Structure 1
Amino acid sequence: MQQNSCFLILSLSICFLSLIFSNARKDALAGGWKPIKNIKNPHVIKIAKFAVDQYNKQSKVSLKLDEVVKGETQVVSGINYKLNLKAKDGSAVNTYEAVVWEKLWLHFRNLTSFTLVMD
């Protein structure tokens, strides 16, 4: 009887642990977009400013970052940041989606896309 109880507890523990570790491994895998919990984080703001600055240089315009509305990250060879941000163009405020690829350890950032979001 005691041997059966030990076997049952051991079997349930193994099943439970494998479930926990399989979910943790899925969260760490590359590819999935995860919401940014704190869009006011200084690093997120720095990424948004970089996106607006790069877009201004490429497009010869002068948008000014107003705020980050929401964002997501994606683990790749580095991190992709997909940010919805509001930017001023003179007196008009528009929403844009910017994607920035960053490899922090290489001090590398690249603006992948910057598009107007139609409300």
Structure 2
Amino acid sequence: MRKYRVAGLVLAALLVLHALATPSSQAEAHRAGGEKMADTAIDDEDLITGGIMPVGSVNDLNLIDLARFAVTEHNKKANALLEYEKLVKVKQQVVQGTMYYFTIEVKEGGANKLYEAKVWEMLWLDFKELQEFKPVEEASSNA
């Protein structure tokens, strides 16, 4: 049984190393089914391992699903009734997996408001977790 755990850890380590070695624009293209994102103009020399970088398109269905997940998780945790409207901006950071930084427009009590959310995802483990969710005003005043 122990050898299976060790093999799993070795596989996870190899996947992390591969993710760190893969430029983020290529990783997003792979995630989108092999299609190269036309509006991603990041040269390899602009990539910083662990740095926060812009991501493809706010129309990417995978990113929209993650943004909706962030709103749903926030609603559960805060007993809130925010309604997802649209994804405004997204950046990513390669960590053990990917940390996404979203700016999301939501409907709150009939008014549209902006929130910032951080979602951590590890695709190989089918794991995603909402790390942070706060109004843009609160986020910018703490910066």
Short-chain TM bin? 0.7 to 0.9
Equivalent residue, structure 2, for 1:112: 131
Larger Rg: 1
Higher strand share: 1
Equivalent residue, structure 2, for 1:76: 95
Matched, 1:52 2:75: no
CA distance in 2, matches of 1:74, 1:28: 9
CA distance in 1, matches of 2:71, 2:52: 22
Deviation per CA, 1:7-54, whole angstroms, max 9, x where unpaired? xxxxxxxxxxxxxxxx8477262x101112211100000000000000
CA distance in 2, matches of 1:72, 1:25: 18
The Cα shift of 1:62 comes to 1.0
Matched, 1:27 2:47: yes
CA distance in 2, matches of 1:49, 1:92: 18
CA distance in 2, matches of 1:24, 1:66: 33
One of 29, 33, 40 as aligned partner of 2:59: 40
CA distance in 1, matches of 2:110, 2:90: 24
The Cα shift of 1:92 comes to 1.2
One of 62, 80, 86 as aligned partner of 1:61: 80
Report which structure shows greater RCO (CA 8 Å, sep ≥6): 1
Give the length in aligned residue pairs: 96
Unpaired stretches in structure 1, ≥5 consecutive residues: 1-22
The Cα shift of 1:90 comes to 2.5
Unpaired stretches in structure 2, ≥5 consecutive residues: 1-42
Equivalent pairs: percent with the same residue?
35
Question: What is the SS of the residue equivalent to 2:47?
Answer: helix
The Cα shift of 1:89 comes to 1.2
CA distance in 2, matches of 1:86, 1:76: 26
TM-score by length of 2: 0.63
Question: What is the SS of the residue equivalent to 1:43?
Answer: helix
